[in-house]
Chains A and B, each alone.
Chain A
Amino acid sequence: MRIVYTDVLVIGGGLAGLRLAIGARRRGHEALILSLVPPKRSHSKAAQGGMQASLGNVFKGQGDNEDVHFEDTVRGSDWGADQDVVRMYVNTSPKAVREMAAWGVPWSRVRRGDRQVIINNQKVTITEPDAAHGLVGQRDFGGTKKWRTCFVSDGTGHSLLNTTTDRAIATGIPVLERAEALALIHDGRRCYGAVVRDLVTGALTAYVAKATAIATGGAGRVYGVTTNAVICEGIGHAIALETGVAALGNMEAVQFHPTGIFPAGILVTEGCRGDGGLLKDVDGHRFMPDYEPEKKELASRDVVSRRMEEHILKGKGVKSRFGEHLWLDITALGEHHIRHNLREVWEICHYFLGVDPVKEWIPVRPAQHYTMGGVRTLPSGESPHLTGLFSAGEAACWDLHGFNRLGGNSLGETLVAGMIVGESIADFCDRPENDVDVPAALVRESLAREQAKLDELLSGRGSEDAMVLRGAMQELMTAKVGIFRRGRDLEQAVDELQKLLVRSRSIGVRSRAAGANPELVAAYRTRMMLKLALATAYGALVRTESRGAHFREDYPRRDDAQWLKRTLATWKGEQDTLPTLAHEPLDVKRMELPPGWRGYGAKDYIDHPDTPARQAEVDAIRAKLASSGRWAVQEALLPYERLLPPALRGRNERIEERF
């Protein structure tokens, strides 16, 4: 029995995992990262557009601050977010950008003087002030009032990941590459680490740790058409679910990105629209102003994606042999802008489509993009159900994004959650009562159980083909659990996914090849992914309202009276074919921003009974403290600072707010 001991076991080598490992290591704890691939290949790499932080550096960002960022994020979430967490996040994201600036990220910088930009299809000249020259630049993104998205050309994720990986190497953190956690070691109350498979040799090892963190990113590959990398199969989500104790939050909240290139699904950044790109239909007509006169192409992603599909249903799509699509037109931005600020977009169009976006339109259609659901955590990042288990980034339902994430808030979340959860893990490890005292029998049994599952797959007795089941799952999810959802379709999806899950218990693997065995990997992952697909589809079936990215045609209104709640999914018994769902209410009486209209999308929703009273209370506090400044108002409405690690508290300096 091979056992490796460490203080902090980090599952996932993307931005969130790296940053939290660095935090824990700096506090003197040993950290070890497991990663499916070399960390610089993680999906964090793919984030092109940028990261939101209310620095207020650029002219069009003047007046921005934590309060504006908070409001945008809560509205974007369609009131699904945890407002404490949003407050923690908006206060820390400027610090994250500045830390990254010091660590070596080549942020695009502001240049003083006049520059031409495109706003609402018009060329406009704006003048950047002298004081901003050389500070981190910011661009426009959907769902934000100010230009707030800090960026590195359009390789923001790439540069952040390079810098953070190198910083982890500098900090002496070992990374076990090509290693996969198959199961958490736990006794139903306390998590003790994970059983890990070496993807090169096939060997199993138990990693025992005081704290275990899941930072494995999204689960987009449950869908057929997705912008996610091929490694985003949600196995981190699945090992938490398979404990039977830890819950996944809001798995039905799935975001579709408006501009996946068609038909491959590769992402072109929201920066295209932020910088002035337009969506056009088969007639070359710019249709978004017809639906969303205020925000147009820059409404939130869920709204833009739905409007695009709606427009295609009206017969305005461009027909092709692969189906229908719309156009993204960025030609007005000009060659220099496209070749400098949207370089990756140019490369993708060039290599995958043979299209020159300087002169031609880009075929696009919404594609699955982001998993808002994940391992349910407290604001500290710890699971409320399993001591010693933490989660951060896309794998977590920390719950920054609620039912719709704004562009530029995911890169922000990876680093900010990494900073916060890294500190709380260090606090956890500091406490003597959390020393690991794991029974050897528990470790041995966990290893034996996982080995037995693999042996059973490899015995070849099963008759089902994992790739066939996976294909059927992806088709069901795309067709019936997509942008528009209906009760009848969801019922069918749940029914058929259950059948696939039962069949997946009889998967057989033909090859017993030594070392890496891609067929075996596909087999055990497919079984796990089917459980996530069921948590998503079943959660969507039960939630009889529309909120953010979750849109029910048969229940088109947001229903705060019934559904201002977070879905919690657990998988109680190994033989179950459905997760057990519970619904945890969000407390309107504590909300700094009580539910209302988002400023785009449907104006039609059902109020929560507590909303008017809370709104009156909020209005009274605002009126009473109007002369005391925004900090006093905020503190009175939602005191949150105690939730932040001491090192991350404090205000953020701006050109307009010096201290």
Chain B
Amino acid sequence: MADTTARRRLAFHILRYNPYDPAAAPRLQRYELEEADGMTLFIALNEIRDRQDPTLQFDFVCRAGICGSCAMVINGRPGLACRTLTRNLGPEITLAPLPFFELIGDLSVNTGKWMRRMSERLETWVHLREDGLDVRRIEAPMDPDLAEQIYLLDRCIECGCCVAACGTARMREDFVGAVGLNKIARFRLDPRDTRTDEDYYYLVGDDDGVFGCMSLLACHDVCPKDLPLQTQIAFVRRKMVKAGL
């Protein structure tokens, strides 16, 4: 927390559009703000809305980098606004909503609707054996390393950055994206899930799934949780090729 005496004047160029207003047209609006120590885009956007423009729409929930709601395009690159410090950006900052997802207004997009549909399609839950669970009994053991491996892939926050950065998603509306393929990899690892590779093949063994991926790897580059998306997609693809033969 260095005490900086000379403060920068930041200029924000924010994409404005209200799809519920028939007269509205998309435009970039400029706002100015004096930078403060430790200022994040969360702090800056709230200050703009509270003091300059109450109509500005954007989403934050946890403001701590764990819920994924504030993903947006920051100077051309998808990222989490809450944990982007302004001191790491130049004095001119351009903000736009994530592409691909339904726009709610300004910087706010409906990732939740898309993620729910993806979850329903890929059945992103453990498919249990239906032999009746007795929760009074000691739980089934699991290898500690395997548990940690599953957690690593379970860290996905469904922010949508990977899909917003994806070339295939631009062309294929129904592409499940790295977020979906990572989930398949996660449930594949999980011994509690009874599904086989054949079952997964029916879910992602086509161009809307793992064979649609063009390996441009932007998903891997922009993932705010540093998930090993590149490795997982390659792995799932290899398994699906085998299952499809």
**Which A residues are within 8 Å of any B CB, using their own CB?**
37-38, 40-43, 45-46, 94-99, 101-104, 106-111, 133-137, 152-153, 155, 158-159, 162-163, 166-167, 169-170, 175, 177-178, 200-201, 229-231, 263-264, 266-267, 320-322, 340, 344, 347-348, 351-354, 363, 467, 509-511, 513-519, 522, 650-655
Q: List the A side residues contacting B30 at CB < 8 Å.
A: none
Given that A41-B69, A266-B64, A348-B65 are known contacts, is A159 also in contact with B154, CB under 8 Å in the complex?
Answer: yes
Q: List the A side residues contacting B3 at CB < 8 Å.
A: 321
Nearest CB of B to A487, in Å: 33
B123 pairs with A518, CB closer than 8 A: no
Q: List the A side residues contacting B66 at CB < 8 Å.
A: 45-46, 155, 158, 344
Given that A351-B85, A513-B18 are known contacts, is A654 also in contact with B154, CB under 8 Å in the complex?
Answer: no
Measured CA separation A351–B64 after assembly (Å): 9
A650 pairs with B119, CB closer than 8 A: no
Nearest first, the 8 closest Cβ-Cβ pairs linking A and B are A134-B141, A38-B112, A515-B20, A519-B54, A104-B126, A95-B135, A106-B150, A109-B144
B142 pairs with A109, CB closer than 8 A: yes
Residues facing A in B49-72 (CB within 8 A) are 49-50, 54-57, 59-69
Nearest CB of B to A320, in Å: 6
Number of A-B contacts (CB under 8 A): 212
Residue on A with the closest CB to B192?
A: A104
Residue on B with the closest CB to A321?
A: B3
Instruction: Flag the segment in B103-111, B202-210, B235-243 that touches A.
Output: B103-111
Given that A102-B128, A514-B18, A518-B55 are known contacts, is A351 also in contact with B60, CB under 8 Å in the complex?
Answer: no
B62 pairs with A43, CB closer than 8 A: yes
**Which B residues are within 8 Å of any A CB, using their own CB?**
1, 3, 18-21, 37-38, 40, 49-50, 54-57, 59-69, 83, 85, 104-105, 108, 110-113, 115-116, 119-120, 123-126, 128, 133, 135-144, 147-148, 150-151, 154-155, 157-158, 187, 190, 192-193
Residue on B with the closest CB to A48?
A: B66
Nearest CB of B to A510, in Å: 6
Measured CA separation A348–B69 after assembly (Å): 16
B62 pairs with A46, CB closer than 8 A: yes
A106 pairs with B63, CB closer than 8 A: no
Measured CA separation A514–B17 after assembly (Å): 11
Measured CA separation A153–B155 after assembly (Å): 10
A170 pairs with B137, CB closer than 8 A: no
Given that A159-B154, A514-B21, A650-B136 are known contacts, is A170 also in contact with B63, CB under 8 Å in the complex?
Answer: no
B104 pairs with A516, CB closer than 8 A: yes
- Select the residue from A229, A348, A363 with max chain B CB neighbours within 10 A: A229
Given that A46-B64, A98-B135 are known contacts, is A153 also in contact with B148, CB under 8 Å in the complex?
Answer: yes
Which of A95, A170, A351 sits near B136, CB closer than 8 Å?
A95
Q: List the B side residues contacting A200 at CB < 8 Å.
A: 20, 104, 110
Q: List the A side residues contacting B57 at CB < 8 Å.
A: 516, 518
Which of A99, A102, A152, A263 sits near B151, CB closer than 8 Å?
A152
Nearest CB of B to A27, in Å: 16
Q: List 17 A-B contacts (CB under 8 A).
A: A37-B67, A38-B116, A103-B126, A104-B190, A108-B148, A134-B143, A134-B144, A136-B139, A158-B154, A166-B124, A229-B67, A266-B64, A321-B1, A348-B64, A352-B64, A515-B20, A515-B21
Which of A107, A177, A363, A650 sits near B147, CB closer than 8 Å?
A107
B144 pairs with A45, CB closer than 8 A: no
Measured CA separation A58–B59 after assembly (Å): 41
Given that A41-B69, A170-B125 are known contacts, is A99 also in contact with B116, CB under 8 Å in the complex?
Answer: no
Q: List the B side residues contacting A104 at CB < 8 Å.
A: 125-126, 187, 190, 192-193
Given that A38-B115, A513-B21, A514-B18 are known contacts, is A231 also in contact with B144, CB under 8 Å in the complex?
Answer: no
Residue on A with the closest CB to B123?
A: A170
Q: List the A side residues contacting B38 at CB < 8 Å.
A: 263-264, 352-353
Q: List the B side residues contacting A518 at CB < 8 Å.
A: 49, 54-57
Nearest CB of B to A197, in Å: 14
List 13 additional contacts besides A46-B62, A104-B187, A169-B120; criterion CB under 8 Å: A38-B111, A46-B64, A96-B135, A104-B192, A153-B151, A155-B66, A166-B119, A169-B125, A200-B110, A320-B1, A351-B83, A353-B38, A518-B56
Nearest CB of B to A368, in Å: 14
Given that A95-B136, A99-B133, A516-B108 are known contacts, is A40 also in contact with B115, CB under 8 Å in the complex?
Answer: yes
